[in-house]
Structure 1
Amino acid sequence: MLAVCVSVDHTAAVGTALVTGVSRRSSIGFAVARRLLERGDQVVVQSWAPHDAEQPWGADDLAAVLAELGDPPHLRADLADPEAPARLVAAARDAVGPLTTLVAAHARSALGRLAEVTAAEVDLCFAVNARGSLLLTQAFAGRYEPAAGPGAVVLFTSGQHRGPMSRELPYAISKGAIQQMTLSLADELIDADITVNCLNTGPTDTGWADPAEQDVVARLMPRGRWNTAAEAAAVVAWLTGPDARSVTGQTIDAEGGFRRWG
C-alpha cells in the first residue's frame, strides 16, 4: 500500500533525498528529514503509522509531523510488502527528480527473549528491517543518475554488534543483518559513486523507554543523558554531505560513550 501527495519545485536544491521512518516528531527519521531540509535538500518522507499504533508509545499526529517539516512530499508505505521499496523510490523520484540520498531510518520494533520468539515476528522484523533496507538500496541504486550528484545511502543498526540485546531478539538480529550487509553493498556501489554506511546511534531518546529504563541507561552514559535524535541527524548530514565522500562500508558507532549494560 502506498499513497503520495506532492507539489514540489525541483530547482535550487543541494540534494534530493528519501528518508524513511518519519512518522513521529521524536523519531530519528524526523530529525534527519528536518536536518536535510535545513541544509537545502529536497526531501521525500515515508511513514507507516499502523506500526506505531501497535507499540506502547502510540502513533503521532501525522498532519502535525508533516507540518513541522514544512509539508514535504509524503509517502505512506508498508515496508513489509516486498514490492513497496521499489514503488517508494519510484514515487520519490517522481516527486523531486533523481535521488542523490537514501536514509533508511525506518524500523520494526519487537521484544522477545529466546523462549518467546515466534517465526512470524522474526519474519516480519527481517522483512521490514533487513529486507526493506536491502530492497530500498537496490531500488535507489537502480534509479541513481550520477549527473544529479554524488550518491549516499545511510542504513541503521542498533549496537547488537557491540553488546547483547537478548530481550529483543527479533529486532536485534534483523538490525544485525543490516550492519553485516553494509560492507558488501558499499563494495557493490562504490564504482557508481554511491557511498553506503551504517549508523549505530546508541541509546537515543525517541520516546520508547519507560522511566525506569530511562534512568538506568542515563547512568551508563558519560554525559548522564541519552543521545538525541538531532545528534544522530547530524551524523547522517555529515555522511551524506561532501566531507564524507571517502567514507564507505563503515559502521559508525555514534554512541556517546555508552558503557553498555552493567
Structure 2
Amino acid sequence: MIHTGLQNKVAIVTGANHGIGAATAKALAAEGVAVLMNFLRMPHLDGVKGQSAAEIEITTPGLAYYNHQRSKSAEEVVQAIRERGGRAEAIEADLADPATIPLLFEQAEALLGPVDILINNADYCTADTFQSGSTDLAPGGYAITEITSETHDRHFAVNSRAVALLIAEFARRRRARGIHWGRIISITTDGAPGFFHEISYGASKYALESYTRAAAEELGRYGITANIISPGPVQTGWITPELEAQIAAETPLGRAGQPEGSR
C-alpha cells in the first residue's frame, strides 16, 4: 500500500461540481483529505440552431449533456464523499469576484481547518475567434463568437486573475501560520500556447501556467510546491460519441481521457 501522507489534510478544489474537479475531490477524500468544493452553476452554451436538451438524450455526451453537467450543484459530490466516510463541504461562488477568494479560505478554515492543498481546476470557457462572422462550431458543438472585451475579460477574470489571487491567499495564510508545507496544483490544457477558435480560453490558461511556474520558484523555500497538469481531451461531457471516436483514433492509448483516470 502506498501512503500518500495526505491523511487529515484540507484541500480547496475549485470547479468541483462535475468532471475533473469532482473526480479530484473524490480522489483526495479517499486519501483522508477534507475537501471544500467551490463551484458555480453555469448558463447553457449556445449550439446548433434548434438543438436542445429535449432533442438529445441527456445521458449521451454532447452539448445538451455538457450543459446539464455545468448547471449542477456540487451536492451529489458532497454526498458521495460523505457516504464513504469522508469530510466534504461545498460553496457556490463566482471566482470572477475577487471577494470570493478570501471567503473560500475563511469557509474552509471554519468548517474543516487550515488549507494545505489548493487545486485550481475551475475554468470559464466560451468559444471566441479573430474571424469576423465565423459560422463554425467549436469541437463540442457550441457556437463561436468574435472576440470582444467581455469575452476576453471574463476568461482572464476566472482562469488567470482568480488563480493568482488564490495562490497569493494560500501562500499568505500558510506563511502566517509558520507551516512549512503546501501543495498547489493548477489544471490547464494542452492547447494553452494557442487555441484555435477558443483564443481567450487558451491565452488565459497560458497565463495560469505562468503564475503557477512563478509560484513554484517563489514559494518552494516555504515548503510549498506548485505543479501544472495539462491533459489532452477529457470526457467531461462535451465530447460527442463521433468526436470521441476521432480522438481515440488519433491517441496512442486509443481513448479519450477520463476524469477518474484510466479504466
Instruction: Provide the residue aligned with 1:255 in structure 2.
Output: none
Tell me if 1:33 matches 2:63: no
Q: Give RMSD over aligned pairs.
A: 2.0
Contact (CA 8 Å) 2:11, 2:33: kept in 1 or not?
yes
Tell me if 1:172 matches 2:184: no
1:136 to 1:198, Cα distance in 2 relative to 1, 3 A: same
Residues in 1 aligned to 2:114 and 2:234: alpha-carbon distance in whole angstroms: 31
Instruction: Provide the residue aligned with 1:23 in structure 2.
Output: 17
The alpha carbon displacement at 1:118 in A equals 1.3
CA deviation vs aligned residue, 1:15-73 (integer Å, no higher than 9, x gap): 1111111112xx10101100110011111111111x2x323422235432321222711
Q: Which has the larger radius of gyration?
A: 2
Instruction: Provide the residue aligned with 2:159 in structure 1.
Output: 129
1:192 to 1:60, Cα distance in 2 relative to 1, 3 A: same
The alpha carbon displacement at 1:183 in A equals 1.8
Residues in 1 aligned to 2:200 and 2:189: alpha-carbon distance in whole angstroms: 12
One-letter amino acid of the counterpart of residue 182, structure 2 = G
Percent sequence identity over aligned pairs? 28
TM-score (norm 2): 0.76
**What does 1:33-52 correspond to in 2, within 5 Å?**
33-49=25-41, 51=42
The alpha carbon displacement at 1:147 in A equals 6.1
Instruction: Provide the residue aligned with 1:4 in structure 2.
Output: none
Residues in 1 aligned to 2:179 and 2:26: alpha-carbon distance in whole angstroms: 21
Tell me if 1:87 matches 2:98: no
Instruction: Provide the residue aligned with 2:239 in structure 1.
Output: 209
TM-score (norm 1): 0.76
Residues in 2 aligned to 1:97 and 1:66: alpha-carbon distance in whole angstroms: 17
Residues in 2 aligned to 1:61 and 1:138: alpha-carbon distance in whole angstroms: 27
Instruction: Provide the residue aligned with 1:259 in structure 2.
Output: none
Residues in 2 aligned to 1:79 and 1:123: alpha-carbon distance in whole angstroms: 13
One-letter amino acid of the counterpart of residue 95, structure 2 = L
Residues in 1 aligned to 2:162 and 2:192: alpha-carbon distance in whole angstroms: 20
One-letter amino acid of the counterpart of residue 12, structure 2 = L
Local SS of the residue matching 1:231: coil
1:101 to 1:205, Cα distance in 2 relative to 1, 3 A: same
Tell me if 1:67 matches 2:61: no
Residues in 1 aligned to 2:28 and 2:179: alpha-carbon distance in whole angstroms: 16
Contact (CA 8 Å) 1:113, 1:168: kept in 2 or not?
yes
Between stretches 196-205 and 12-21, larger displacement belongs to 12-21
Instruction: Provide the residue aligned with 1:150 in structure 2.
Output: 181
1:20 to 1:161, Cα distance in 2 relative to 1, 3 A: closer
The alpha carbon displacement at 1:173 in A equals 0.7
Tell me if 1:14 matches 2:30: no
Contact (CA 8 Å) 2:10, 2:33: kept in 1 or not?
yes
Local SS of the residue matching 1:45: strand
Tell me if 1:194 matches 2:224: yes
Contact (CA 8 Å) 2:75, 2:90: kept in 1 or not?
no
One-letter amino acid of the counterpart of residue 20, structure 2 = I
Instruction: Provide the residue aligned with 1:258 in structure 2.
Output: none
Residues in 1 aligned to 2:235 and 2:183: alpha-carbon distance in whole angstroms: 25
Residues in 1 aligned to 2:153 and 2:125: alpha-carbon distance in whole angstroms: 12
Instruction: Provide the residue aligned with 2:190 in structure 1.
Output: 159
Instruction: Provide the residue aligned with 1:237 in structure 2.
Output: none
